[in-house]
């Protein structure tokens, strides 16, 4: 299953987008982007919760 995550969906004016097979590394990529580009150091758990709050189930974002 493909997971599409867009930075702008999480409140940033940013065109960064991830569109790939679901995995923990996908969440880590988004977390790293938040830290490197926006200076916010979220935990993987916090990013996972943010993705769930956008309507994805835990099963749809973790392998």
Per-residue pLDDT tens over the stretch 42-51: 999 999 898 8
- Which residue range is the domain that position 9 belongs to? 2-61
- Cα(27)–Cα(47) distance, integer angstroms: 7
Q: Average of pLDDT values for 16-36?
A: 91
Long-range contact pairs involving 14-20 (C-beta distance under 8 Å, separation at least 24): 14/38
pLDDT, mean over the chain: 88
* pLDDT tier for residue 23 given thresholds of 50, 70 and 90: confident
Closest CA to 21 of 45, 1, 42: 1
Structural domain count, the chain: 1
pLDDT above 80 (res 59): no
CB count in 10 Å sphere of residue 37: 12
pTM: predicted TM-score of the whole model, two decimal places: 0.82
């Amino acid at each position: 299953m493909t997971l599409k995550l867009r930075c702008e969906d999480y409140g940033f004016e940013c065109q960064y987008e991830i569109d790939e097979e679901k995995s923990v590394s996908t969440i880590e990529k988004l977390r790293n982007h938040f830290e490197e580009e926006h200076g916010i150091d979220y935990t993987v758990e916090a990013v996972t919760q943010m993705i769930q709050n956008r309507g994805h189930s835990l099963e749809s974002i973790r392998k």
